[in-house]
Structure 1
Amino acid sequence: MEFNSVKETADVTDVLIVGAGPTGLALAVDLTRRGVRALVVERADRLFPGSRGKGLQPRTLEIFDDLGVLDAVRASAGPYPIGVIWQDGQRKGEQRMSDATEATEAAPYNEPWMLPQWRTQEILRARLEELGGEVVFGRELVGIAQDPEGVTASFATGAPVRARYAVAGDGGRSTVRRALGIGMTGESVDPNPMLVADVRITVLDRDVIHMFPPTDTEGFLAVFPLAGTEDFQVAAQFPEGTDADLTLDGIREVFAARTHLSPEAVTEVRWASDFRPRAALADRFREGRVFLAGDAAHIHSPAGGQGLNTSIQDAYNLGWKLGAVLRGGADPSLLDTYEEERLPNAAAMLGLTTRVHRGEVRRGAATHQLGLGYRVSSLTVETREGLPQDALHAGDRAPDGPHAGRRLFDAFRGPHWTLLTVGTDTPLPTLATVRTLHIPPYEAYGQGIFLIRPDGYTAWAGTTTTGLTTHATTLGLA
């Protein structure tokens, strides 16, 4: 079938994105700024209304900086406050939600920020519309078919959509994943069900997280003040086999039983959900011209705040590759590296969240996602020998740092490659669509030459340019 053969009866786009969650919206922003037509369709009639994925890790803040939404995020978000442990109506201690790490020139964001998921989505949607993109609501996908030229998606109502590629960002119960016949392997992280709800509470201060430890008869309950709102998020655990009551009366009963406050302190329930913590990974992240991203590809326990953040990294990895193929003339085989790079990273994050949930690992540097990278990717070439394990390698995240009165991140920002020399005047080859940048010796990099991908990871590193042009050619840059 020719790509345009159904043009008269179908909407046509470059990339169809199913699901207007953080994954789909971030991907749409990235594609749209690259000049790629991206259509986001959402089954519901509005954006997801809850706070569920409320933690933004430092690596996600860096990505949001590049996507042009960090100022809006920081205007609404705030750092996680200290946790106060209550017992019998008295404050009995304090607990930090995450081990502190020091901000550095190389890593300016050193702690997670709290922002309700619904607000993150609003910010991404506003950015998408600013760039000329849109979200179409009330579009329930009921079928998807592929041919050598593209993808055709059909919906419960309205015209089909014809696209070069499609991306499933439609969550853990992904319709697209099931339609493709892709399995998902997982395990229960905890047999005890959880409740999470956004509520209004009249008598708790908003300067701390209120933590009520479990007793012999009741599970734990925690109350998080949601930055930038008047709401609190209540999280509560129940005994195995119990069904949580998501009504106002049900949540009031749980709140009063586990705290020293009256049920009437909860004045309103704005959103509520229950779930059983689970970890699961899709068997593959691609089927032909369709890709899985976010919860459609991996489901995390909420512990450690990795789910939404790993999903954003999926979008960030896939966005520049789709852009390179659709607008930059790159070989379509580049898209094979999406699964190659993201599946093992998602698997590692699933293991981490499970260990955090079970109390085996503290939140901190391990959960900030700054140490994740692609050292073993086929897109990565390291020509230097004998590097210490903790030195910057090809495949690692490219550090920030000072540059000409500004920041390296300012120079990296945007949908382009960067060729960076550090402490060397070695003549550089001319590479198409690649910006060059020269800085003096800088400890975070060491001395050398670094080819930095559009998603901020180093693709090639060396002390001379030997082999650089060859690798750049394989990437479509020379």
Structure 2
Amino acid sequence: MNTDVLVVGAGPTGLALGIDLARQGVDALVVEKADRLFPGSRGKGIQPRTMEVFDDLGVLDAIRAVGGDYPVGMIWQDGKRVAENQMFDPAEATEDSPYTAPWMVPQWRTQEVLFARLEELGGRVGFGREVVGFEQDDDGVTVRFSDGPDVRARYVVAADGGRSVVRRALGIGMTGETVDPNPLLVADVLISGLDRDNWHVFPPRGEGDGFLAICPLAGTDVFQAVAQFPEGTAVDLSLDGIREVVAARSHLAPESVTEVRWASDFRPRAALADSFRAGRVFLAGDAAHVHSPAGGQGLNTSVQDAYNLGWKLGAVLRAGAPISLLDTYEEERRPIAARMLGISTGVHRGEVRRGESTRQLNLGYRESSLTEETRTDPGPLRAGDRAPDGVLSGGRLFDAFRGPHWTLVAVDTEAPEVPGAVRVIRGEEQGSYRKGLYLVRPDGYVGWAGDSAAGLSEYAHRICF
């Protein structure tokens, strides 16, 4: 069997990449070693920048329909409510940033939405396909499985998690640290005796104890329970074990926990792959960077890896762009991943607030080789930055950006002739957009900006569109 791109792993990263490739007409196959989608809530926060990505990929309405706002934290002590805690610094939505608060969706639901969109676009997921090895040459990669025929692909993307088989087979190391030696339990449970309007937090009762947090998962009847244990503890994931923890750390009776839907334990760590690429094989998501869950950065950074890589693979495979374009994936994403790892660790240790730094709206690629800023006085919006929303000539810019195309935004400046595949939007100065030309990439970042069209054709020729 042959395909253009083989994506290993049907988590949020692999599914988002599959969607991006499918909408560009790239023949891609997503494979997953399990026989179904991941069943747990693990990554439950969709950050504002990822909501913008989901808007572009055509899944935001479905994501909003199955999620909800984060509840207010409620601190308990001795069976009494003693304080409230806002989990995130608030921010008002603006014309250029319509999404400013994280949206809660359990990971299993996010994956269901992405999977449905992938199938809608004609994409495929092969379940029960465990990768056991591969060989690559100048023309492609031959991937072997524990069961079923080999697959020959022009490129392979490893989105198979923090214990990535593909990364290990490539010999790419992970550099990192233990964020917290104390193990954590995370479980999706049915529980009685708690309201669903608050995120219930039970601080440690004494020295050596750990906290317990029970959060209602929006759009479901399930709670996510998280408990911390002393270093070296063997965490019991059974129903009886979870009942014991809940009863010992809260005012709830053991039988208030009526069912465990999914449970896991882990030790929070932060690690970054030494490289995001080896030949025709790329690493994305947890295969490239492993986060503490604090601050909700892992899933979001991973989806944005896919969003960055997807348009570049499409440009090379379908639009004749130079293969060197693929080199910019690691150039752009590895520094971002390193930055977000630092933020995740800081949130976990109480050094960073959940707020502006965790929304991911201020990330960009100003230092990228794909970025050209030709204006002498560029103002706050520069090439390499996220292209904000706004209204130009009566139309919303995010509506114009939606789709795997480049967009030229001409603000009080004559727009030159551009290839038909480039959408042109004209209007007057407003909000973030000063007079000038802004060439917006398919992933919503300003690639080139100028006071006039001088230099634009040379940039376009270099990128080849």
Q: What is the TM-score when the length of structure 2 is the normalising length?
A: 0.99
Partner residue, 1:91:
81
Partner residue, 2:397:
408
SS of equivalent residue, structure 1 residue 199: strand
Q: Deviation of residue 203 (structure 1)?
A: 1.5
Q: Please, which of 379, 399, 405 is the counterpart of residue 388 of structure 2?
A: 399
Q: Deviation of residue 386 (structure 1)?
A: 4.1
Partner residue, 1:362:
353
Partner residue, 1:471:
459
Between the aligned partners of 1:374 and 1:79, the Cα distance in structure 2 is 30
Q: Please, which of 442, 454, 457 is the counterpart of residue 442 of structure 2?
A: 454
Partner residue, 1:149:
139
Work out whether 1:353 is the aligned partner of 2:351. no
Between the aligned partners of 1:347 and 1:169, the Cα distance in structure 2 is 18
Q: Deviation of residue 413 (structure 1)?
A: 0.2
Partner residue, 1:434:
422
Answer yes or no: is the 8 Å Cα contact 1:15–1:167 preserved in 2. Answer: yes
Partner residue, 2:335:
344
Work out whether 1:258 is the aligned partner of 2:246. no
Counting matched residue pairs gives 464
Answer yes or no: is the 8 Å Cα contact 1:429–1:469 preserved in 2. Answer: no
Q: Could you give the per-residue CA deviations for residues 375-395 of structure 1, whole angstroms, max 9, x where no partner exists? A: 00000000112445xx01100
What is the CA RMSD across the aligned residues, in angstroms? 0.9
Question: Structure 1 residues 128 and 282, CA, compared in 2 at 3 Å: closer, same or farther?
Answer: same
Amino acid at match of 1:296: A
Amino acid at match of 2:445: Y
Question: Structure 1 residues 379 and 252, CA, compared in 2 at 3 Å: closer, same or farther?
Answer: same
Question: Structure 1 residues 40 and 312, CA, compared in 2 at 3 Å: closer, same or farther?
Answer: same
SS of equivalent residue, structure 2 residue 398: helix
Q: Could you give the per-residue CA deviations for residues 171-198 of structure 1, whole angstroms, max 9, x where no partner exists? A: 0000000111111111000111101000
Between the aligned partners of 2:391 and 2:369, the Cα distance in structure 1 is 30
Work out whether 1:43 is the aligned partner of 2:33. yes
Amino acid at match of 2:421: T
Between the aligned partners of 2:396 and 2:256, the Cα distance in structure 1 is 47
Between the aligned partners of 1:190 and 1:154, the Cα distance in structure 2 is 37
Amino acid at match of 1:62: E
Amino acid at match of 2:336: N
Partner residue, 2:118:
128
Q: Please, which of 143, 168, 173 is the counterpart of residue 158 of structure 2?
A: 168
For residues 72-83 of structure 1, what are the structure 2 equivalents within 5 Å?
Answer: 72-83=62-73
Between the aligned partners of 1:445 and 1:141, the Cα distance in structure 2 is 47
Partner residue, 1:229:
220
SS of equivalent residue, structure 2 residue 343: helix
Q: Could you give the per-residue CA deviations for residues 103-127 of structure 1, whole angstroms, max 9, x where no partner exists? A: 1000000100100000000000000
Q: Could you give the per-residue CA deviations for residues 236-286 of structure 1, whole angstroms, max 9, x where no partner exists? A: 111111121100000000001110110111000000000000000000000
Answer yes or no: is the 8 Å Cα contact 1:317–1:338 preserved in 2. Answer: yes
Amino acid at match of 2:404: P
Unmatched runs of 5 consecutive residues or more in structure 1: 1-10
For residues 15-414 of structure 1, what are the structure 2 equivalents within 5 Å?
Answer: 15-217=5-207, 218-387=209-378, 391-414=380-403
Question: Structure 1 residues 360 and 82, CA, compared in 2 at 3 Å: closer, same or farther?
Answer: same
Between the aligned partners of 1:220 and 1:322, the Cα distance in structure 2 is 45
SS of equivalent residue, structure 2 residue 425: strand
Answer yes or no: is the 8 Å Cα contact 2:374–2:450 preserved in 1. Answer: yes
Partner residue, 1:8:
none
Between the aligned partners of 1:112 and 1:298, the Cα distance in structure 2 is 21
Answer yes or no: is the 8 Å Cα contact 2:75–2:85 preserved in 1. Answer: yes
Q: Could you give the per-residue CA deviations for residues 85-134 of structure 1, whole angstroms, max 9, x where no partner exists? A: 11111110100111001110000001001000000000000000001111
SS of equivalent residue, structure 2 residue 200: strand
Amino acid at match of 2:157: V
Answer yes or no: is the 8 Å Cα contact 1:73–1:120 preserved in 2. Answer: yes
Q: Deviation of residue 153 (structure 1)?
A: 0.1
State, as a whole percentage, how many aligned pairs show the same letter: 69
Q: Deviation of residue 429 (structure 1)?
A: 3.1
SS of equivalent residue, structure 1 residue 219: coil
Q: What is the TM-score when the length of structure 1 is the normalising length?
A: 0.96
Between the aligned partners of 1:139 and 1:327, the Cα distance in structure 2 is 27
Answer yes or no: is the 8 Å Cα contact 2:413–2:436 preserved in 1. Answer: no
Unmatched runs of 5 consecutive residues or more in structure 2: none
